[in-house]
Amino acid sequence: MTAVDSAAPLDTDDLGVPVTTDPGGQTVLHPQPGRLPEVVEALRDAGYVQCLDVCGVDYLGAESRDDLPTGVTPQRFEVVVTLMSHEARRRVRLRVQVPAAEPRLLTLFDLFPGTENPEREVFDMFGITFDGHPDMTRILMPEDWEGNPLRKDYAVGIVPVRFKAAGDTR
Amino acid sequence: MSTEAPATGGRIYSRTGGPVLRLSESESLTATPSAPERMIINMGPQHPSTHGVLRLLLELDGETVRRCKPIIGYLHTGMEKTGETLTYLQGPTNVTRMDYASPLFCELAFSAATETLLGLELPPRATWIRMLMCELNRISSHLLFQATNGMDLGAVSMMLYGWREREEVLRLLEKITGLRMNHNYIRPGGVAADLPDGWRDDVLRLLDPIGDRLDEYDALLTGQPIWRERLQGVGVVSAAECLALGVTGPILRSTGYSWDLRRHMPYLAYEQLTFDVICGTFGDSFDRYAIRLNEIRESIRLVRQILEGMPPGDYRVQDKKVTPPPRGRIDESMEALIHHFKIFTEGFKVPAGEVYEAVESPRGELGCYMVSDGGSKPLRMHIRAPSFINLQALPYMLEGRLVADAVAIISSVDPIMGEVDR
């Protein structure tokens, strides 16, 4: 590893994307959905060599979304991409708003082939399609499953517990 | 956006070609292979070498694997969905069941994310107990790897030795946490209980023989020609491929790429400890075996330093919002009883926000992405499971290898299916 203290912090202003900071001090970018691959590519070229994670969030029924910067319209779904720069030893997170009416995004497979599995998981769990993904199929649920389990309007299954009167154990 | 596929490490990640077989489960029943002399077979999910219920679709050319697709989901129980219905205090009972070979790391990532949202600062003893427990857990997890890796390659005595030593570590974990596995010991705000009396002696009694037995493993396996023949040059990946595929942990380090969160982005109090990051050279199964063996030695070294440096004080944060009152006060104070009841029935409220915290688990970067809406249950709790991502490297490792090597290669990835499927 080279000396990392000299690594210049990423100038996020150049990307033209609203920036916030999370409670842990990590940089969060809020690109427009269409610009996601472009921003990720710029970050990759700036030293963010690994895409650690792609995950979805369903904000259905969430009351306040005031952690979003001005200019970003809150939508029901959000796709969260975490990138890692080993040189600068920091992560950056991208939060993309995905409307419920048209849950589609462009895939990041061409930039990071490692997003293949996580994107399939988001597709499976939230029903968000990634255009250009090589294998947009369910990954955790059975192929013929209906519904997207991690959506907030998908009920949690409950098995009712039946109690018996004391003494009647047979 | 670039239109050409990224060429990393000489291998092309294309959408149609390459070593990844992209075939749905239903298609696989009737699929015709890409060339007439090839055939597609299933390996697993009920196969003793697939570490649980991993199923592989293999496209074979005689005995040679050409393409492969891992099919997962057989252990999927919707733990992330369950996580949304549990309070922050109940959360660790859920996540601890994901990676059942190293449960404390899941609890740690979950607790760290919750604490960052709460803005809690832990007392030093809580931090050091967490480090102690995690390093002990890393030892037991890597011992489990040594056992299963030996079994997969026919070194049955190694399997027995590995399980034997692992059981001794688990016995100590049981003494400290109350359970062999799924401890629910690391909780938001600290740990569940202080270390028991005589823990130092117990830890020392455990460490001394394990160090000697690692040398026995070396004598049994490391220099053995058959062992080397089966592992060296098998399942090679390059550092560039690992980076492109998001692979972390011992697999990334086996390529010679030094990256360990404990060293390079320290959490807990790792910056105060001295240890080496073990790296390989060739990125093959043998390097991954050797790295895990030597990481046990490094963990022993770390535990000895933790024994020296364990500070006195509280084992959990004294914040009335998060921590229940001590047991003694419940008997004498009505308010304490109500307070205790409230924390365990309603849970505590966590400020709205979202955060990602990660730790170095024995398998790689284990992250927890947590979104809070200000209530007592997370709006979203996502675990970035290292095995789930690392499995993507499997087709690249298997390409061009024999079916017999597949067993060695799956084993060297060390996937824990509970974590893969969550």
Task: Output the DSSP codes for B123-146.
Answer: -HHHHHHHHHHHHHHHHHHHHHHH
Identify the CATH number of the domain in which residue A81 sits: 3.30.460.80
- Res. A135: pLDDT tops 50: yes
Interchain CB contact of B264 with A (< 8 Å): yes
Please count the other Cβ atoms lying within 10 Å of the Cβ belonging to residue A27.
16
Whose tokens are 């690992």? That residue is: B242
In this complex, do A142 and B73 lie within 8 Å of one another by their Cβ atoms? yes
For range B23-27, the mean pLDDT: 73
**CATH number among 1.20.1560.10, 1.10.645.10, 2.40.30.10, 3.30.70.330, domain B79-317+349-386:** 1.10.645.10
pLDDT band at B34 (very low <50, low <70, confident <90, very high): low
Q: What is the pLDDT of residues B199-218, one digit of tens each?
A: 999 999 999 889 889 999 98
- Res. B7: pLDDT tops 60: no
A148 assigned to some structural domain: no
pLDDT of residue A12: 64
Q: What percent of chain B is predicted at pLDDT more than 90? A: 37
Please count the other Cβ atoms lying within 10 Å of the Cβ belonging to residue B204.
12
Question: What one-letter code names the amino acid at A92?
Answer: V
* A-to-B residue pairs, Cβ atoms closer than 8 angstroms: 145
Q: What is the pTM of this model?
A: 0.89
At residue A82, the 3 state secondary structure works out as strand
Provide the token pair at A3.
Answer: 């000396």
A137 assigned to some structural domain: no
- Indicate the DSSP class of residue A139: S
pLDDT of residue A20: 84
Provide the token pair at B211.
Answer: 């160090």
Please count the other Cβ atoms lying within 10 Å of the Cβ belonging to residue B350.
26
Contact status, residue B401 vs residue B64, Cβ threshold 8 Å:
yes
In this complex, do A110 and B6 lie within 8 Å of one another by their Cβ atoms? yes
The CA distance from A131 to the nearest CA of chain B, in Å, is: 12
B372: nearest CA partner in chain A: A62
Which residues lie closer than 8 Å to B171 by C-beta, 6 or more apart?
B180
pLDDT of residue B189: 87
- Indicate the DSSP class of residue A132: T
What is the rounded CA–CA span in Å between residue A125 and residue B355?
Answer: 20
**Where exactly are the structural domains of chain B?**
79-317+349-386
Residue B416 to residues A54, A138, B106, B148, B310: CA-CA distances in angstroms?
20, 20, 13, 12, 31
For range B303-311, the mean pLDDT: 92
Distance of CA B17 to the CA centre of its chain: 31
Sort out which chain A residues have CB atoms less than 8 A from B264's CB and list them: 1, 86, 89
B 14-33 residues with CB < 8 A to A? 15-16, 20, 22, 24-26
Contact status, residue B322 vs residue B189, Cβ threshold 8 Å:
yes
B 84-113 residues with CB < 8 A to A? 84-85
For range A74-84, the mean pLDDT: 91
Sheet holding B353-361, edge to edge: B353-361, B364-372, B380-384
In this complex, do B382 and A55 lie within 8 Å of one another by their Cβ atoms? yes
In this complex, do B24 and A109 lie within 8 Å of one another by their Cβ atoms? no
Please count the other Cβ atoms lying within 10 Å of the Cβ belonging to residue B274.
8
CA-based torsion, B28, B29, B30, B34: positive or negative: positive
A63 assigned to some structural domain: yes
What's the domain range around A49? 12-131
- Indicate the DSSP class of residue B271: G
The CA distance from B284 to the nearest CA of chain A, in Å, is: 20
Q: What is the pLDDT of residues A27-71, one digit of tens each?
A: 898 898 888 898 998 888 888 889 999 999 998 887 777 778 887
Q: What is the pLDDT of residues B234-255, one digit of tens each?
A: 888 888 888 989 999 999 999 9
Contact status, residue B329 vs residue B336, Cβ threshold 8 Å:
yes
A157 assigned to some structural domain: no
Sort out which chain A residues have CB atoms less than 8 A from B53's CB and list them: none
For range B160-179, the mean pLDDT: 91
- Res. A137: pLDDT tops 60: yes
pLDDT band at B19 (very low <50, low <70, confident <90, very high): confident
Highest mean pLDDT among A160-164, B3-7, B53-57, B102-106: B102-106
Q: Where are the beta strands (DSSP E) in chain A?
A: 19-21, 27-29, 50-58, 77-85, 90-98, 104-106, 129-131
Reported ipTM: the value is 0.85
**Number of domains making up chain A:** 1
